[in-house]
Amino acid sequence: MDMTLTISMLYAGLLTLLYVALSVNVIRLRWRDRVGIGTGDSQDLKVAVRIHSNFAEYVPLSLILLILMELQGASAMLLHALGAALFVARVCHALGLTMSVGPSWARTVGVLGTFGVLLLQAGFVIGVFIGGSL
């Protein structure tokens, strides 16, 4: 078993870059709208804070599951598929909410993609627990 976790590290790095970009956007809007705490009356800042917070709510759990899967010997193809799908889903979610606070195709792809990745990861780790290594 490879203990270097190279695939998980790749997606942790890519998702960290995305998280930093989302953070910088929040900071930029705080400066622009002169809001130190909270969101004030700025709709743009409210949206940016939700995009950033939503990322922080879902991505860490998915990365933990990706690491557990890699430690259990999941195939490189599966790990890359899930990592890439999560990255694309998070980009879509951010773009979708930026375009419209209502429903949008990108936001839908982001939500369904994130939930799909989490459900597949949960199924994998539960399957390992129940039936041994997959």
User: Among candidates 76, 74, 13, 22, which has minimal Cα distance to 45?
Assistant: 22
Q: What is the dihedral of CA 102, 121, 67, 12, to 10 degrees?
A: -20
pTM of the model: 0.93
pLDDT tens, position by position, 40-84: 999 999 999 999 999 999 999 999 999 999 999 999 999 999 999
> Rounded to 10 degrees, what is the CA torsion of 110, 114, 115, 117?
140
pLDDT at 62: 98
Joined tokens for residue 95: 């773009």
Amino acid at residue number 90: R
DSSP 8-state symbol, 34: T
- Kindly tell me if the per-residue pLDDT of 134 is higher than 70: no
**Is the Cα dihedral 14, 9, 111, 46 positive or negative?**
negative
The CATH number of the structural domain formed by 6-133 is: 1.20.120.550
pLDDT tier for residue 131 given thresholds of 50, 70 and 90: confident
Query: Residue 11: what pLDDT?
Result: 98
Average pLDDT over residues 4-29: 97
Mean pLDDT (the chain, rounded): 95
Is residue 51 helix, strand or coil? helix
Domain locations in the chain as residue ranges: 6-133
pLDDT digits (tens, 9 = 90+) for 21-33: 999 999 999 999 9
Alpha-carbon distance of 51 to 91, in angstroms, equals 10
Give yes or no for a contact between 18 and 87, defined as CB atoms under 8 angstroms apart.
yes
